[in-house]
Structure 1
Amino acid sequence: MVTMKQIAQETGVSVSTVSLVMNHRDEGRVKPAIASHVRAVAERLGYRVNPMASSLRTNRTHILGFISEEVATTPYAGGMILGAQSAASQYGYMLITVSTDGGMDEDDEIAALKRYGADGFLYAKMSNRITDVPQALADLPVVLVDATDRNDGDSLADGTGSAPVPSVEPDEFHIGYDATRRLIDAGCERIAYVGCSEDMIAQHGRLAGYRAALEDVGRKPDDRLVVNVLNNGPALAAVSDLFDWERPDGFFCFNDARAWYVYECAARRGMTVGRDLSVVGVDNHRVFAETLSPQLTTIELPHFEMGYWAAAKLISLIEGHDLDKGEWPRTTAPIPPLDAPVPAKIHCTLIEKESVRRG
């Protein structure tokens, strides 16, 4: 097994310097060029941090607890866990995931993670919602993933409240804005929004972005071109009425699942998506991406990026210093800085496929 002493001998620095670098405590203490050289030599020699020894020195276990609701059982959102695990591994931490689905008691799962000595917690929701941080996590390092703290910090100025918990979420406004601008740029004149009838952050943000994009090109948003639906028969009927009464030539859909209703209505009328009308969805959901024909142009939600940012942010809170971002992965969407305003918003990427007609 490679030791710090061997790395010190190879690099010509002290063992204490190697220890600072290997434990990510070198910032402001070790010159960046020296730290970079130490890491390069450690990687070449195959050095691995001993978690047990590290925990004895620092009184930390280097374990992060990931508490999820639906996330662990949702295939495409599993990217959150993958992103968090990637960041944890990079900085010498291990991720333990528990799910509160299926009748599992949340307090019991949090208690189990505490027994393992988790240094901090990621608390993840599905579909970007406002949430209350569990009381069992009060006064512990916590970062919310795809969720926003109900405490917005408004009472902080008068000393009666506390700062909101750090969180990361998709930039919902720009999802709506970018999708609608893509349809405008494709020459669509009557752009409909097939939204969600649930009261959600995503719905409000995407609808606002849709309206703003129209206004920015001098078009007045028309409420007759907006239908907010849930699913199944009523949703299909609402989109069908939209086709017959308003005759849109472009559709921005709240998600890829709702885009299916547009495809179905177009097919029943002998219309071809990508030629007679254009459609943009949200999710880049694998099932719809592999099923719909022509393939659906969509905006990909940044599940990996959210998980990665959240874990990196949590580690920075635990260790009390900024992290070296030199080795952050290349991602579909840009990962925001760790000091981004709360909530940190990730500008999602539009994935061009075949459902928007060529201009």
Structure 2
Amino acid sequence: MSKRATLADVAARAGLSKTAVSLVLNERPGSRLSAEAVQRIRDAARELNYRPNPAARSLRMGKTRTIGFVSDKVTITRFASAMIRGLLDVADEHDHGVLIAETGDHPKQLARALESMIDRQVDGIVFGSVGARLLNLPALPDHVRGVAVNCVGPTSRSVVLPSEHEAGYRMTRLLIEAGHAEGIGIIGNAPQAIATPQISVTIGSRFAGIHEALDEARAAPVAVADIEVWEPWHGYDAAKEVLGSGAPVTALLCLNDRVAFGAYQAAQERGLRIPDDISIASFDDDEIASYLRPGLTTARLDYQGMGRLAAELILLRDDSEGEHLVPMPVQLRESIATPSLDWQDLPTKPGRSAG
């Protein structure tokens, strides 16, 4: 392996002093060198494939041009890993690297990761979580900027969260504007999660948005199914119970896409067509939402946007403290339509297609 070119090598090739070369290559003002001398230095650096020593530059400038990312299962979860993509994109745009550690919600691994990053003098630390919940995040030293993404710590000064209230409101308004004000069933009510920040710090906001939209329309859910675990089989059971209850349901608002997947199966079993006989809407925009037929209308959890904003707060903004909300854009697909005749008055046909 060839020897790495040094500042002295560039100075010798250009026929100038190390001080002059340092001023030019580190883009420091006030060198008073001629344009010809500056060009000689740049040509010499290019010919020698000179690269600045990052460790020396860090010592000199007091910055390592590195962001630390401490993950609570983000790196091992396909859906949430877009958060890392957003963080990497901003870091790359500003010539920074990212040091990543996965803790898997283990306190000892969290403490070890933080100690390692602080020892390496990262310019800031981003904490990221799959679930938007209260985490036992330790306080950082005053000189280290920190941002909590999709989570909250007891000492967090800067937090990035999805705009759940807006999403709840907009998804409910979609159903109301389609004519379902008097027929919305909620699949996935989660009273324990609403009351327990260790489970969720945002789901209460989502429900607040839902109920604000209903209140504006002077409406109320015609059926509510509590689910503490938001998975397809629970969505299936809850939707099957609601659809068989006799409640005048014309639309199901599911509290995530996995629950909605189960609701699709329950509707299909009952011989209901989506959206002709019943509309379904949801939240998250998991990959499954676009695979369902018809495609599921849902509000997207923008993990990539949250990652980007966190990096920008670390690198670019002085107003980083406080709560920063990232919109959850609605993904309009084919699962919502104006209600037709009351399907409960029609005979069910076991062979009828849901799509």
Alignment partner of 1:356: what SS?
A: coil
Q: Which string of whole-angstrom CA distances, capped at 9 and with x for unpartnered residues, describes residues 140-167 of structure 1?
A: 311111112335xxxxxxxxxxxx5101
Instruction: Note if 1:343 corresponds to 2:323.
Output: yes
Give, in angstroms, the shift of residue 342 of structure 1: 2.0
Measure the CA separation in 2 of the matches of 1:207 and 1:261: 21
Alignment partner of 2:129: what SS?
A: strand
Aligned twin of 1:227: 225
Name the count of aligned residue pairs. 290
2:233–2:259 CA contact under 8 A, matched in 1: no
Aligned twin of 2:168: 176
2:187–2:235 CA contact under 8 A, matched in 1: no
Alignment partner of 1:77: what SS?
A: coil
2:232–2:258 CA contact under 8 A, matched in 1: no
Q: Which amino acid in the other structure matches residue 304 of structure 1?
A: Q
Alignment partner of 1:150: what SS?
A: coil
Task: Give ranges in structure 2 of 5+ residues lacking alignment.
Answer: 8-22, 30-45, 195-199, 340-355
Measure the CA separation in 1 of the matches of 2:301 and 2:120: 32
Measure the CA separation in 2 of the matches of 1:247 and 1:48: 70
2:116 is aligned, of 112, 115, 129, to 112
Aligned twin of 1:159: none
Give, in angstroms, the shift of residue 57 of structure 1: 2.8
Task: Give ranges in structure 1 of 5+ residues lacking alignment.
Answer: 4-14, 22-44, 152-163, 317-321, 323-337
TM-score, normalising length: structure 2: 0.73
RMSD: 3.1
Measure the CA separation in 2 of the matches of 1:48 and 1:280: 53
Aligned twin of 2:197: none
Measure the CA separation in 1 of the matches of 2:60 and 2:335: 57
Aligned twin of 1:67: 70
Identity over aligned pairs, percent = 25
Q: 1:132 to 1:241 in 2, by over 3 A?
A: same
Measure the CA separation in 2 of the matches of 1:49 and 1:350: 46
Give, in angstroms, the shift of residue 54 of structure 1: 3.6
TM-score, normalising length: structure 1: 0.72
Give, in angstroms, the shift of residue 310 of structure 1: 0.6
Measure the CA separation in 1 of the matches of 2:305 and 2:98: 16
Measure the CA separation in 2 of the matches of 1:347 and 1:221: 25
Alignment partner of 1:89: what SS?
A: helix
2:71–2:100 CA contact under 8 A, matched in 1: yes
2:125–2:146 CA contact under 8 A, matched in 1: yes
Measure the CA separation in 2 of the matches of 1:280 and 1:49: 53
Give, in angstroms, the shift of residue 84 of structure 1: 0.7
Instruction: Note if 1:253 corresponds to 2:254.
Output: yes
Give, in angstroms, the shift of residue 238 of structure 1: 2.4
Measure the CA separation in 2 of the matches of 1:196 and 1:87: 36
Q: Which amino acid in the other structure matches residue 188 of structure 2?
A: G
Aligned twin of 1:287: 288
Give, in angstroms, the shift of residue 272 of structure 1: 1.0
Alignment partner of 1:221: what SS?
A: coil
Give, in angstroms, the shift of residue 357 of structure 1: 1.6
Instruction: Note if 1:126 corresponds to 2:130.
Output: yes
Measure the CA separation in 2 of the matches of 1:358 and 1:254: 21
Q: Which protein shows a greater Rg?
A: 2
Measure the CA separation in 2 of the matches of 1:247 and 1:341: 47
Measure the CA separation in 1 of the matches of 2:130 and 2:211: 25
Measure the CA separation in 2 of the matches of 1:314 and 1:91: 11
Q: 1:160-309 to 2 correspondence within 5 Å?
A: 164-189=156-181, 190-197=183-190, 198-199=193-194, 200-217=200-217, 219-222=218-221, 225-229=223-227, 230=229, 231=231, 233-245=233-245, 246-290=247-291, 292-309=292-309
Give, in angstroms, the shift of residue 102 of structure 1: 8.0
Measure the CA separation in 2 of the matches of 1:248 and 1:50: 66
Alignment partner of 2:335: what SS?
A: coil
2:80–2:303 CA contact under 8 A, matched in 1: yes
Measure the CA separation in 2 of the matches of 1:110 and 1:78: 20
Measure the CA separation in 2 of the matches of 1:298 and 1:207: 15
1:206–1:254 CA contact under 8 A, matched in 2: no
Q: 1:226 to 1:16 in 2, by over 3 A?
A: farther
Aligned twin of 1:79: 82
Measure the CA separation in 1 of the matches of 2:105 and 2:159: 25
1:87–1:308 CA contact under 8 A, matched in 2: yes
Instruction: Note if 1:94 corresponds to 2:87.
Output: no
Q: 1:86 to 1:48 in 2, by over 3 A?
A: farther
